Amino acid sequence: MRRHGQGGANRAGDVVKAVRSVVALHSTDPVTVFLSAWARTSGFLPADLERALYVERTLVRMLGMRRTLFVVPRDLVPVVDAACARGVAAQERRKLERFVAETGLSDDPPAWIEAASAAALEALGSRDGAFASELAGDHPLLAQRIRIGAGTRWETEVGAASRILLLLGAEGAIVRDRPRGSWVGSQYRWVPIDRLGQLERPEPGEARAELLRRYLTAFGPVTDADIRWWTGWTARDARAALADVEHAPVDLDGATGLVLAGDLEPEPTSDPAAALLPSLDPSVMGWKLRDWYLGPHVESVFDRNGNAGPTVWWGGTIVGGWAQRRDGEIVHRLLEDVGRDAEQAVEAEAERLAAWLGDVRVTPRFRTPLQHELSG
């Protein structure tokens, strides 16, 4: 809880420090970013995160580990790009080539993608950023439709502009800017990557080692399985990164865990604290092997695809879940007996969250059985 900024005394003084405490914030659901930051930052306001993302550019939203959208500190952008995103981008390019061929847009899909990408970059430069829907009218290639999932029950058509922008984002040519509407929106404007200034281009091996150091700092001790799951790396890449990072084995009730070589001293004890974390929060999704902090509650607080819902924490373990109802009330359910002091602390945290959200209503993109029950 101390390392992840959970609980009043552990919270950071600013949002960038809060993000660094867990390496990166999940951004698949835009609400997660703000609620994760709220849980870890004293006096947090949505404008604090918006300023860091869109004005100061000290935080950046990008595709990263496991082909997942994250918010990361600016200095970590080239690291995540080289360690994870480049491989994801190559896969996305091959996938788009197949979609272009199956749709019949061109006999030379790579050339079509290059032409459409150039048109999108030119349009973004002339517009000083734009939504995908705006670019569709700027060039005939971007106005075309692409068939996805041909021959399956998921077959659909999407605008070429949106797929090209997603590819350019994965390849690090552009980044997501402000969303349409409020901070809970998920349709983002896109701007050229040069808005971030000059970025380094580390080698993949060097980048993987640096990302692993940060992961071990925030989440160690971890297992080999945790490393491969969190990063999305192959076993070979994970082994190579470990070879470049000084680490030490530790005993985890008979299993082998890994920590940084200088991180062998026990954490000092502290009073337990309550925390209400959103769906897909890094503290919930930071390990593949979760029994030690999740206990028997997986079927209540995770959906069938492995996505975590909103969770209630006490003393560093998950003890329940929460939801927001239509009238704004934050309701929760404890799944084990934690004692009256813990119950009162959780109730106080729920009231604090309700007051902070005010008129804003949030619905997790991935809803769990317990979240369905509580929200009504």
- Residue 18's CB is within 10 A of a number of other CB atoms, namely 24
Query: 337 — phi, psi (to 5°)?
Result: -80, 115
Q: What percent of the chain has pLDDT over 70?
A: 100
Measure the CA–CA gap between 69 and 30, rounded to whole angstroms. Answer: 10
pLDDT for position 184: 86
pLDDT for position 299: 93
Measure the CA–CA gap between 79 and 203, rounded to whole angstroms. Answer: 9
- Angstrom CA distances, 293 to 36, 146, 233, 315, stand at 18, 44, 24, 10
* Residue 272 preceded by cis peptide, ω within 30: no
pLDDT for position 285: 96
Domain locations in the chain? 76-196, 220-270, 274-375
pLDDT for position 364: 84
Measure the CA–CA gap between 24 and 40, rounded to whole angstroms. Answer: 13
pLDDT for position 129: 87
Query: What are the residues whose beta carbons fall under 8 Å from the beta carbon of 157, sequence distance 6 or more?
Result: 145, 146, 147, 148
CATH 1.10.10 correct for 76-196: yes
Measure the CA–CA gap between 36 and 282, rounded to whole angstroms. Answer: 8
- Residue 199's CB is within 10 A of a number of other CB atoms, namely 15
Measure the CA–CA gap between 370 and 376, rounded to whole angstroms. Answer: 10
Q: Are 119 and 142 in contact (CB under 8 A)?
A: yes
- Quickly tell me which residue has 């959970």 as its tokens: 6
pLDDT for position 209: 98
Measure the CA–CA gap between 96 and 108, rounded to whole angstroms. Answer: 12
Weakly modelled stretches of the chain, pLDDT under 70? none
